[in-house]
């Protein structure tokens, strides 16, 4: 009997020891899961490639100092099924985050977003440069698509170029997007601004869609002053009706803007340049927009001021005179 009791006592001690180890391990595990993985580590940009297995994901995070305990990290991932649902993309993670928070972000696909502001009246080339600076597009692909007639047709653009249809606005993009996806968003925002009433008005005043956008782009390049836009529009409309050349300086340097040239503007020389958009040499409107206008310029092109002005000149840098 004494031997039996001793055996039972020993087994109880073993069970209690095992239970103690389990409880301590669980406590350590749950503390790991909910505590900052590396409090002293700065923010890290982590890129999870498409098709990456969770082993590679763990290695990438570990190299960035965002795992700490790989067995615990794997166990937590399996418990949360994160090992099967991690989404690719670029993530901004910090050591102050817990492993649970990191895995939740990977599962939800909360990738890093880049806010991009595209101001009014910049060219397609300038749009490409801004987006490329954040590695959001392939600049060469962007510029090739900008004149790809089949791609433009898929965007409902009946023109030789995407110029004028990349709506200036504040955007939020991420690096998982393709160049085509980014362009579709920019053009989609343009179409959101264009109402049936605006299309009807353009038709009433004898402008095709592309002519309307072209005129709006010239107005936008001539002034940033909202109050001046209808007056400048009136000057151009009056000149078109009279058969006069538009003579807009903004059109004389478009070839430089489009090429991203840093050449110094020579007003006299540029006015004589034999380029398709130079309204000092051609009659009527250029073959297409010279920039990407905002809504104020688009509306001004449709609703010119009711004045008989044919000229405007600079009184100072902030104000023009009309006659």
pLDDT tens-digit profile of 42-91?
Answer: 788 888 888 888 889 889 989 888 888 888 888 888 888 888 888 888 88
Give me the DSSP letters along 281-298. Answer: TSSSS-SS-SS---HHHH
Q: Residue 282 corresponds to which tokens in the numbers above?
A: 């051609």
Mean pLDDT for all residues in the chain: 87
Q: How confident is the model at residue 263 (pLDDT cuts 50, 70, 90)?
A: very low
CB contact at 8 A, 214 and 288 = yes
Q: Which residue has the higher pLDDT, 272 or 250?
A: 250
Q: Going from the N-terminus, what domains does the chain have, and what CATH number goes with each? A: 33-110 (3.30.1490.480), 114-193 (no CATH), 196-322 (no CATH)
Q: Which of 92, 298, 137 is nearest to 214 (CA)?
A: 298
| pTM assigned to the model | 0.80
Residue 22 clears pLDDT 90, i.e. is over it: no
How many residues are given for the chain? 323
Distance, in Å, from the CA atom of 183 to the CA atom of 173, rounded to the nearest integer, reads 11
301 burial (CB, 10 Å; 0-12 / 13-18 / 19+) is buried
φ and ψ of 86, to 5 deg? -70, 135
Q: What is the DSSP letter of 322?
A: E
pLDDT reported for residue 192 = 97
Task: Write the pLDDT tens digit of every residue in 146-204.
Answer: 999 999 999 999 999 999 999 999 999 998 899 999 999 999 999 999 999 999 999 99
- Residue 88's alpha-carbon distances to 45, 48, 102, 181, 290, in angstroms, are 13, 5, 13, 17, 38
pLDDT at 7 over 60: no
């Amino acid at each position: 009997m004494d031997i039996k009791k001793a055996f039972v006592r020993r087994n109880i001690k073993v069970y209690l020891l095992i239970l103690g180890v389990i409880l301590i391990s669980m406590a350590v595990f749950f503390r790991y899961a909910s505590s900052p993985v590396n409090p002293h580590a700065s923010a890290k940009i982590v890129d999870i490639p498409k098709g990456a297995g969770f082993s590679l994901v763990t290695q990438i995070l570990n190299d960035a100092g965002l795992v700490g305990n790989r067995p615990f990290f794997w166990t937590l991932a399996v418990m949360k099924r994160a090992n099967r649902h991690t989404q690719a993309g670029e993530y901004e993670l910090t050591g102050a985050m817990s492993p649970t928070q990191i895995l939740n972000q990977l599962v939800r696909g909360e990738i890093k977003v880049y806010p991009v502001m595209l101001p009014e009246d910049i060219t397609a080339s300038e749009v490409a440069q801004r987006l490329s600076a954040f590695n959001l597009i392939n600049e060469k692909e962007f510029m090739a698509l900008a004149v790809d007639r089949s791609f433009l047709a898929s965007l409902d653009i009946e023109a030789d170029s995407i110029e004028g249809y990349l709506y200036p606005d504040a955007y939020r993009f991420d690096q998982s997007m393709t160049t085509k996806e980014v362009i579709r968003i920019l053009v989609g925002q343009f179409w959101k601004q264009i109402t049936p009433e605006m299309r009807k008005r353009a038709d009433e005043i004898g402008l095709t869609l592309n002519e309307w956008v072209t005129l709006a782009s010239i107005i936008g390049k001539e002034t940033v002053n909202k109050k001046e836009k209808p007056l400048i529009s009136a000057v151009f409309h009056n000149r078109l009706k009279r058969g006069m050349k538009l003579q807009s300086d903004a059109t004389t340097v478009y070839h430089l803007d489009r090429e991203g040239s840093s050449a110094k503007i020579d007003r006299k020389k540029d006015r004589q340049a034999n380029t398709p958009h130079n309204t000092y040499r051609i009659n009527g409107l250029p073959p297409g927009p010279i920039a990407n206008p905002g809504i104020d310029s688009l509306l001004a092109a449709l609703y010119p001021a009711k004045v008989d002005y044919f000229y405007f000149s600079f009184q100072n840098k902030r104000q023009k005179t009309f006659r």
